[in-house]
Structure 1
Amino acid sequence: MASIQKRNGSYRARIKRVGQTTLSKTFDSRLEAQRWAKFTQAQLTLSLHEETKSPSGDGISFEEAAQSYIKNHSIHKKIVRCETSRLNILIKRWTGLTVTQVDKKAVLVLRDELLKKGRSGETVNHYFNTISKLFQMLNDEWDLEIANPIKGIKRMPPSQGRTKRVNLELEALLLSGCEQLSLPLLRSIIEFAIQTGMRRGELMGLTWADIDLPNHKAYLHQTKNGEPRQVPLTSQAIGILETFTKDEEKVFPMGMDALRSQFGRLKEHIKGQWNGIGTNPFDDLRFHDLRHEALSRLSDLGLNVIELSHISGHRTLGMLKRYTHPSHEAILRKISNG
């Protein structure tokens, strides 16, 4: 039975056969695909069709395939930056290899090395998904008869998530560190992150056109899950915004690289100021922990999961649960007052 599929401006004709390999070919127009399918089916009926082996991909480098995937697929995704970064890492790793040489063994070695470096199960799965999509392109669009190296490899189980809280003491050290290092913009970004629970990319992409001061809300058009949302602004968040002169289009005129650099510098500076008991909390502190803290504080205030998801943009309760960690004191207050 023949079918025609439109994929990225081209048309792929497929003829499925019981007990035999599926025949397929890609064309620039639907009419050409239909003509090929009709002609090939007639040949099959009359037993005149000559089997031809699909190209194996022996002469195609992994770099060539990956660059094509970036150009034709990654560029259209919300996760373009992350996926492109992963593919560039894989290009560097497998430079000189053909796509047929990137087999299951190569993927398993990649997995083990990522885990040895301390990468999370989610990170490993992101690599698996990227590789799988690339080989799907080779099969579906390039008509290569090549095995997907991810097939049969189990995905990594989800991690338990981080439970780190940036309490008032740690927040105070972060803010005072900004003062000591003369980083006033970074201080405002940290304060605003804790007040709103926005992701780093959402913060740095925020423009004054997105801010509705009279109604205390910010509009986020580009989000991780692709769905725009509104974030309520607390009086503290409004107070932070009112300290700016609005001379720039961006609310926080700082690039991502500068933010990473300054936050890393801040962490190193205040690590030596920690004199508490146990592990230094700034050793593994991430900027993303500010989002965790913001949502956990909102949970402490009594917001329910629907209200929290409205602010955070999480689609599922499972993901939201991993981001909110109510304090013992907040839980104790609720059960004591009940």
Structure 2
Amino acid sequence: MANKINFTKAMIEGLPLPEQGKRIDFHDTKTLGLQVRVSSNGTRTFSVLRRIHGRLERVTLGRYPALTIEQARRKAAEINADIANSVNPAEVKRGRKAELTFSELFGEYLERHSKPNKKTWAQDESQFHSYLRATLGPKKISAINRSSVASIHSSITKAGQATTANRVKALVSSIFGWAISAGLWHTNPATGIKHNKEQSRDRFIQGDELPRFFRALADEQNSSMRDFFLLSLLTGARRANVLAMRWEDISLDRAEWRLRTTKNGTPQTVTLSPQAIQILRDRLPLEPTVFVFPGRGKTGHLAEPKKGWQRILSRAGLGDLRIHDLRRTLGSWQAKQGASLAIIGKSLNHKSQNTTAIYARLDLDPVRDSVNAATSAMMVAGGLTPDMGVVKFNRSRG
């Protein structure tokens, strides 16, 4: 074989450069198949060239001097050992190149599983971009192990977001679980990671906070945002359901809103209080529209109320309140007015009374009444008459 030399630092660095656009291969006398390819611009690249099953295969190792001669010889020896054990390293490497990155796997999961089957698919997308894209996204899925996922879970937990850490871990587990069922992968690196202990959140709008909250709503210039938060409070419905509220599902005469599907998989009829009915009557469109809160995005309805929520919280001085706490607020005020756990659970469409039990510990008042009484009580506590006649809301369309 031509151009056989003993690879040394001085020898490799002194190799002649070929003509412009050409390359020259030099073969090591000590290690079977090891060669260095010299290009006209001076780049020197180690590789192993071997005939495997009658086919000449090249496996690139890396560039000199980032990869030293000794490192190149060790890698070449490992490849030679694989070949001796009937493993084709070139085929293995080609398989790795074809392997999905985690970002690519998530894209498959989102389009093929999450969007068709989960009403909360947008939350999956948000969590991926917030917590996983930068850390796991570029990695091949074979490079992601339990330690990788545990590290992310731990860092989110240390940042004071124990519940979020659990949700992110659950998303990773769901992605890999789907990949296994779809035949795209064979192991789940999220398996076996200890779950953070979670505490039930019991935050709701207190009586002395309601006046500030309602005045902040009254000052909101975007009527869609204001009405969205008011209906979220007055119906106790989940954010996703209120965002996607359809006119065809509402009966103003019967004061009912029929939810075709909900988070727990069952339909629900939501009682509409007189205050909720008034908001809906004020929103009746001049031209037919599908959604109560139409939007310009892909869904056709309002998609993300976070900025409006932050404006209202800032005006009200209620920095620790979440949108989901509006749902909890209705249940809490039902408990204050004496509603039974069964009534609260029915109005909020809870499957389990254990979920509903959180409202019982918020107040020890006797249990007797339901949604309309709670709504009226909130209006009065907030400085409004039950028909919202004290603080006038700006009804201009936002």
TM-score under structure 2 length normalisation: 0.60
Tell me the CA shift for residue 173 of structure 1: 1.1
Task: Return 234-243 or 95-104, whichever deviates more.
Answer: 234-243
Task: Return 236-245 or 199-208, whichever deviates more.
Answer: 236-245
Match of 1:293 in 2: 329
Match of 2:154 in 1: 112
Task: Return 180-189 or 100-109, whichever deviates more.
Answer: 180-189
Query: Does the CA-based 8 Å contact 2:145-2:189 persist in structure 1?
Result: yes
Match of 2:182 in 1: 141
CA displacement 1:161-219 (0-9 Å, x = unmatched): 22223123322212212333434443333332222111122112112211112222111
Residue identity in the other structure for 1:86: Q
| RMSD of aligned residue pairs (Cα, Å) | 3.0
Query: Does the CA-based 8 Å contact 2:335-2:367 persist in structure 1?
Result: no
Query: Does the CA-based 8 Å contact 1:296-1:326 persist in structure 2?
Result: yes
Q: Does 1:132 align with 2:178?
A: no
Q: Does 1:166 align with 2:187?
A: no
Does the C-alpha gap of structure 1 residues 239 and 64 become closer, same or farther in structure 2, counting only changes over 3 Å? closer
- Structure 1 residue runs of 5 or longer lacking an equivalent are 1-51, 272-281
Distance in 2 between residues matched to 1:258 and 1:73, nearest whole Å: 22
State the identity as a percent: 23
Match of 1:259 in 2: 305
Tell me the CA shift for residue 58 of structure 1: 4.3
Does the C-alpha gap of structure 1 residues 80 and 186 become closer, same or farther in structure 2, counting only changes over 3 Å? closer
Give the match's secondary structure for 1:218.
strand
The structure with the largest helix share of the pair is 1
Residue identity in the other structure for 1:93: T
Give the match's secondary structure for 1:162.
coil
Tell me the CA shift for residue 290 of structure 1: 1.0
Give the match's secondary structure for 1:169.
coil
Query: Does the CA-based 8 Å contact 1:293-1:324 persist in structure 2?
Result: no
Query: Does the CA-based 8 Å contact 1:195-1:237 persist in structure 2?
Result: yes
Aligned match of 1:82 in 112, 123, 127? 123
Tell me the CA shift for residue 257 of structure 1: 5.2
Match of 2:138 in 1: 96
Give the match's secondary structure for 1:96.
coil
Distance in 2 between residues matched to 1:199 and 1:177, nearest whole Å: 21
Give the match's secondary structure for 1:87.
helix
Does the C-alpha gap of structure 1 residues 241 and 148 become closer, same or farther in structure 2, counting only changes over 3 Å? closer
Query: Does the CA-based 8 Å contact 2:331-2:359 persist in structure 1?
Result: yes
- Structure 2 residue runs of 5 or longer lacking an equivalent are 1-86, 296-300, 370-398
Number of aligned residue pairs: give it. 269
Distance in 2 between residues matched to 1:103 and 1:205, nearest whole Å: 38
Match of 1:276 in 2: none
Aligned match of 2:357 in 304, 321, 324? 321
Larger Rg: 2
Tell me the CA shift for residue 107 of structure 1: 0.8
Aligned match of 2:272 in 233, 244, 250? 233
Distance in 2 between residues matched to 1:127 and 1:258, nearest whole Å: 20
Distance in 2 between residues matched to 1:202 and 1:311, nearest whole Å: 14
Distance in 2 between residues matched to 1:302 and 1:222, nearest whole Å: 29
Does the C-alpha gap of structure 1 residues 140 and 180 become closer, same or farther in structure 2, counting only changes over 3 Å? closer
Tell me the CA shift for residue 103 of structure 1: 0.8
Tell me the CA shift for residue 110 of structure 1: 0.3
Does the C-alpha gap of structure 1 residues 286 and 214 become closer, same or farther in structure 2, counting only changes over 3 Å? same
Match of 2:392 in 1: none
Query: Does the CA-based 8 Å contact 2:102-2:140 persist in structure 1?
Result: yes
Residue identity in the other structure for 1:186: M
CA displacement 1:95-144 (0-9 Å, x = unmatched): 331112111111111011111222233x3232222222332344443364
Aligned match of 2:195 in 125, 146, 155? 155
CA displacement 1:208-237 (0-9 Å, x = unmatched): 211112222111124222322101112222
Match of 1:42 in 2: none
Distance in 2 between residues matched to 1:197 and 1:285, nearest whole Å: 15
Match of 2:107 in 1: 67
Distance in 1 between residues matched to 2:350 and 2:269, nearest whole Å: 13
Give the match's secondary structure for 2:200.
coil
Does the C-alpha gap of structure 1 residues 202 and 136 become closer, same or farther in structure 2, counting only changes over 3 Å? closer
Does the C-alpha gap of structure 1 residues 303 and 150 become closer, same or farther in structure 2, counting only changes over 3 Å? same
Tell me the CA shift for residue 283 of structure 1: 1.9
Query: Does the CA-based 8 Å contact 1:165-1:292 persist in structure 2?
Result: yes
TM-score under structure 1 length normalisation: 0.69
Does the C-alpha gap of structure 1 residues 253 and 296 become closer, same or farther in structure 2, counting only changes over 3 Å? same
Task: Return 227-236 or 256-265, whichever deviates more.
Answer: 256-265
Distance in 1 between residues matched to 2:225 and 2:182, nearest whole Å: 46
